[in-house]
Amino acid sequence: MRIIEAIGRLIIGTAQHVVNVLGLFFQTVFWIVVGPFKKKFPKLKSIFEQMVFVGVRSIIIVFFVGFFTGIVIAMQSAYQLAKLGGTIYVAAMVSVSVARELGPVLTALVVAGRVGAAITAELGTMKVSEQIEALQTLALNPIRFLVIPRFLALLIMLPCLTIFSDIVGIAGGFLVGVYNLGLNPYRYLDVSFDFLIWKDVWTGIVKSISFAIIIAMVGCYMGLNTRGGAEGVGKSTTVSVVTSFILIILFDCVLTGIFYFSNM
């Protein structure tokens, strides 16, 4: 009976969190649509500041992750393809796998670990220090002033970071193919873009948009519901990052299945 009770509490608690996160998402979308017609709406400056934090300050780590991922894919695929006499198809392997899968997923995981944790820690600190209650006392909606700038920044910058990661990943594979495998650089690029179709590119972009929503909603929700002082902030930050990682992998699997079985 205790096991059944524990499972029941877990299911009910998870369902409540899902409903609450969806409620936060719909409120965010509502205030994005209605907010510009209100006087009290986040200034563009706050949105741009978040865009700089999310995008510009993540470029270095995204560059290294994407670049070395492309190198690893090229070396690992070359080992197998060389046995079949198809070394030139390393170019296609790198470009397609980076654009469709590894670029969006690895970039989202990096941003979730860096930005998602920061969002939760910042909002959690504001929550336990009663700064959010102070905003409400001043008749300022926390969703409009705290959630929307972070949500829009992630929604805009994560697809940009994903495209950047795709480019540097293909560049990493190019270096291995040309300088290690001895492939003709023009032939390498020709094969890369012969196999890389438009669907591969927008599939990765759609995934990155979904991942941006996950990171923003989970980070803001955990931050706004932090309890228990400094210890609670640390716990919320950990749960936020772990939850974001799990949801990113889960939604990646779901979206991959949808795109795989669709004829779009």
For each of the chain's 264 residues, which pLDDT tens digit applies?
678 888 888 888 888 888 989 999 999 998 888 766 565 556 678 889 999 999 999 999 999 999 999 999 998 888 888 777 778 888 888 999 999 889 999 999 999 999 999 999 999 999 888 888 888 787 778 888 889 999 999 999 999 999 999 999 999 999 988 888 888 888 888 888 888 888 888 899 999 999 999 999 999 999 998 888 888 898 999 999 999 999 999 999 999 888 877 765
Burial of 41 per CB tally in 10 Å (0-12, 13-18, 19+): middle
Distance CA(83)–CA(80), nearest Å, equals: 6
Q: What is the pLDDT of residue 196?
A: 84
CA torsion angle for 85, 88, 89, 95 (degrees, to 10)? 160
pLDDT of residue 67: 94
**What's the rounded Cα separation, in Å, for the pair 51 and 156?**
8
3-state helix, strand, coil in the chain (%, to 5): 90, 0, 10
* Per-residue confidence (pLDDT) for residue 160, from 0 to 100: 94
Residue linked to tokens 């993540």:
58
- Measured CA to CA in angstroms, residue 30 lies from 42, 171, 215 at distances of 14, 41, 19
pLDDT value for 263: 61
| Residues 21, 32: Cα–Cα separation, whole Å | 16
**Cα 225 from chain centre:** 21
